[in-house]
């Protein structure tokens, strides 16, 4: 709970939980609100999650600065994301319709895995990039690899029809259990899956199928989840750019496996899993038990869908489905798991069934210590890994510009064009100490400069819970004192800060 919740607001300004009811918005709100706006209750939750993620990953390491002094630095950038200052002062801009506001000059972590504020920004922009790729793929009339470049004789039994361009959505997964992928095995299981997939995609069978299908490459996405029963479950989705005919569907749109060339990968992948001991088989399995396990493996380890599903799925990546616990939109699958009963709804933690990393973070913030430990384990394992991986040369082929995640996260929101205020380092420290970043944004968007200053004056009367740390070297800050500000009509107010 933030400081603003449950307390009277200064000057009658809308603050806290009392003011976020969409059913009864105060008249001074202006604007229509909407997802991601300051009127969205999910945004408060997101900022709280952001602070909590920073607390779970607040490891520090000693480094020597230019002056030769040893200072402590955060190991993981998320701890200082939207917290550490990148210069003097923190600028706040808002949108002309007073629905949105954002901080200007602040450190940004750019982590798609750890950061509840950078993650959705990165995902939304990645979706745009992928859609750009889709458009380029279907816009080109000439095939990238024409049939004349393929060995037609050998292709004939393999790819039945060479029609046009298509997209396929492939899923590679493995069997996992608590012994092999339980708590403490997240990183090891991830490395195993990555190594196996890499060797599988470089084998002759896979490369030949891609060549015959005229496939210039794919976009791979990595996902993970945790369940107490079976431990960590990593799987990858691939969007494959290739010619049509690799998947034959019936009238209901379901793939006919025995007719589809892509489904030849299924058996090969299952073999690779068995060889790598990732098929869930035990040495003692014989007879019917082994047969059942193998059949189960074959049914689950690989899936291929047509491109329309892939496009729809990826478009969904940028959306933010609603749940009782706020909105969260890094991916639709992740958001779906929020819809299941979590602790916030009075149920068991989601890890008991099937928890996405965001569900773990949510449960951890709601007080489940084990979820916090698991989220930290996930965060350390995925640190530095890309969320989406484009095949080498695919972006160039489709004319999609290469942009780093951090640049996506840093890109300012074009809607927030109106400067509101610039907070001094002391004022910023006060905001952090009270964990009131969302309240400040909300005041900036709705009531502008006046609202922010009123909020700061009001925060001054409440004891802070945190240190408000935003830099490793704060010695250059002026000593605290009374700060005066104008409230209109020539009146002045002041607060200690």
Contact set with Zn ion (CB under 5 A): 81, 109, 115, 118
The nearest distance, CB 424 to Zn ion, in angstroms, is 23
The nearest distance, CB 107 to Zn ion, in angstroms, is 8
**d(Cα 497, Cα 479) in Å, to the nearest integer?**
9
Q: Smallest Cα–Cα separation from 439: which of 11, 86, 48?
A: 48
The nearest distance, CB 318 to Zn ion, in angstroms, is 17
The nearest distance, CB 194 to Zn ion, in angstroms, is 24
Are 377 and 99 in contact by the 8 Å Cβ rule? The answer is no
**d(Cα 139, Cα 129) in Å, to the nearest integer?**
15
The nearest distance, CB 379 to Zn ion, in angstroms, is 12
492 phi, psi to nearest 5 deg? -125, 150
The nearest distance, CB 43 to Zn ion, in angstroms, is 15
Nearer residue to Zn ion within complex by CB, 81 or 190: 81
CB atoms near residue 14 (< 10 Å): 23
In the chain the first and final C-alpha atoms are separated, in Å, by 23
Q: Kindly write down the DSSP assignment for every residue of 71-132, as one continuous string.
A: EEEESSGGGTTTTSBSSSSEEEEE-TTSS-EEESSB-----TTT-TTHHHHHHHHHHHHHHH
The nearest distance, CB 320 to Zn ion, in angstroms, is 17
Interior/surface letters 451-465, b for 16+ CB within 10 angstroms, e for the rest? bbbbbbbbbbeeebe
Nearer residue to Zn ion within complex by CB, 42 or 349: 42
Nearer residue to Zn ion within complex by CB, 410 or 493: 410
Are 130 and 239 in contact by the 8 Å Cβ rule? The answer is yes
The nearest distance, CB 111 to Zn ion, in angstroms, is 6
The nearest distance, CB 127 to Zn ion, in angstroms, is 18
Nearer residue to Zn ion within complex by CB, 367 or 412: 412
Which two structure tokens, joined as six digits, stand for 312? Answer: 């729809």
Torsion from C-alpha of 24, 26, 29, 34, nearest 10 degrees: -10
Q: Which residues contact 298 (CB under 8 A, 6 or more apart)?
A: 266, 267, 270
Q: Smallest Cα–Cα separation from 174: which of 160, 185, 162?
A: 185
Matching residue, tokens 């922009």: 125
Nearer residue to Zn ion within complex by CB, 189 or 431: 431
The nearest distance, CB 42 to Zn ion, in angstroms, is 17
| CA angle, residues 104, 108, 109, in degrees to nearest 5 | 170
Nearer residue to Zn ion within complex by CB, 172 or 470: 470
If residue 237 lies in a helix (H) or strand (E), which one and from where to where?
strand 231-243
Nearer residue to Zn ion within complex by CB, 13 or 330: 330
Are 314 and 127 in contact by the 8 Å Cβ rule? The answer is yes
**d(Cα 53, Cα 124) in Å, to the nearest integer?**
21
Give the dihedral sign, CA 263/269/270/271. Answer: positive
Nearer residue to Zn ion within complex by CB, 53 or 166: 53
Are 460 and 430 in contact by the 8 Å Cβ rule? The answer is yes
Nearer residue to Zn ion within complex by CB, 118 or 159: 118
Nearer residue to Zn ion within complex by CB, 109 or 222: 109
User: E strands along 193-230, which residues?
Assistant: 217-227
The CA distances from residue 457 to 5, 7, 430, 436, in Å, are 16, 14, 10, 13
Nearer residue to Zn ion within complex by CB, 45 or 98: 45
The nearest distance, CB 54 to Zn ion, in angstroms, is 9
**d(Cα 87, Cα 355) in Å, to the nearest integer?**
39
The nearest distance, CB 108 to Zn ion, in angstroms, is 6
Nearer residue to Zn ion within complex by CB, 231 or 326: 326
């Amino acid at each position: 709970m933030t400081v603003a919740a449950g307390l009277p607001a200064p000057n009658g300004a809308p603050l806290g939980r009392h003011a976020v009811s969409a059913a009864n918005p105060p008249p001074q709100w202006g604007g229509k609100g909407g997802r991601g706006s300051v009127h969205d209750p999910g945004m408060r939750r997101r900022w709280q999650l952001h602070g909590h993620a920073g607390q779970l990953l607040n490891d520090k390491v000693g480094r020597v600065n230019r002056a030769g002094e040893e200072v402590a630095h955060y190991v993981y950038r998320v701890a200082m994301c939207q917290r550490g200052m990148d210069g003097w002062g923190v600028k706040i801009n808002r949108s002309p319709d007073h629905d949105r506001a954002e901080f200007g000059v602040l450190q940004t972590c750019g982590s798609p895995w750890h950061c509840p504020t950078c993650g959705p920004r990165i995902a939304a922009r990645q979706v745009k990039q992928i859609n750009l790729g889709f458009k380029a793929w279907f816009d080109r009339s000439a095939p990238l690899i024409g049939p004349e470049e393929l060995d037609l004789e050998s292709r004939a039994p393999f790819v039945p029809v060479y029609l046009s361009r298509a997209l396929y959505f492939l899923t590679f997964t493995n069997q996992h259990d608590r012994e092999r992928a339980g708590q403490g095995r997240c990183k090891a299981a991830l490395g195993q899956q990555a190594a196996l997939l890499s060797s599988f995609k470089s084998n002759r069978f896979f490369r030949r199928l891609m060549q015959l299908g005229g496939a210039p490459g794919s976009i791979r996405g990595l996902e993970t989840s945790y369940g107490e029963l079976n431990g960590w479950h990593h799987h990858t989705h691939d969007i494959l750019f290739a010619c049509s005919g690799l998947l034959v569907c019936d009238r209901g749109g379901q793939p006919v496996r025995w007719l589809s060339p892509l489904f030849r990968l299924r058996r090969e992948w299952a073999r690779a899993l068995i060889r790598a001991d990732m098929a869930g088989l035990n040495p003692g399995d014989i007879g019917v038990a082994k047969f059942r396990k193998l059949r189960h493996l074959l049914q689950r380890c690989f899936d291929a869908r047509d491109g329309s599903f892939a496009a729809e799925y990826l478009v969904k990546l940028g959306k933010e489905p609603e749940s009782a616990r706020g909105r969260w939109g890094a991916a639709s699958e992740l958001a779906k798991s929020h819809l299941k009963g979590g602790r916030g709804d009075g149920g068991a933690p989601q890890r008991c069934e099937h928890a996405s990393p965001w569900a773990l973070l949510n449960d951890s913030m709601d007080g489940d210590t084990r979820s916090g430990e698991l989220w930290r384990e996930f965060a350390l394992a995925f640190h530095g890994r890309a969320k989406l991986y484009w095949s080498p040369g695919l972006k160039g082929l489709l004319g999609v510009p290469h942009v780093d995640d951090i640049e996506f996260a840093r890109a300012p929101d074009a809607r927030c064009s109106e400067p509101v205020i610039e907070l001094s380092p002391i004022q910023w420290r006060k905001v952090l100490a009270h964990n009131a970043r969302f309240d400040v944004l909300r005041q900036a968007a709705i009531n502008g400069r006046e609202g922010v200053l009123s909020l700061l004056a009001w925060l001054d009367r409440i004891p802070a819970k945190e240190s408000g740390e935003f830099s490793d070297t704060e010695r250059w800050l002026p000593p605290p004192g009374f700060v005066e500000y104008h409230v209109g009509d020539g009146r002045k107010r002041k607060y200690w800060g």
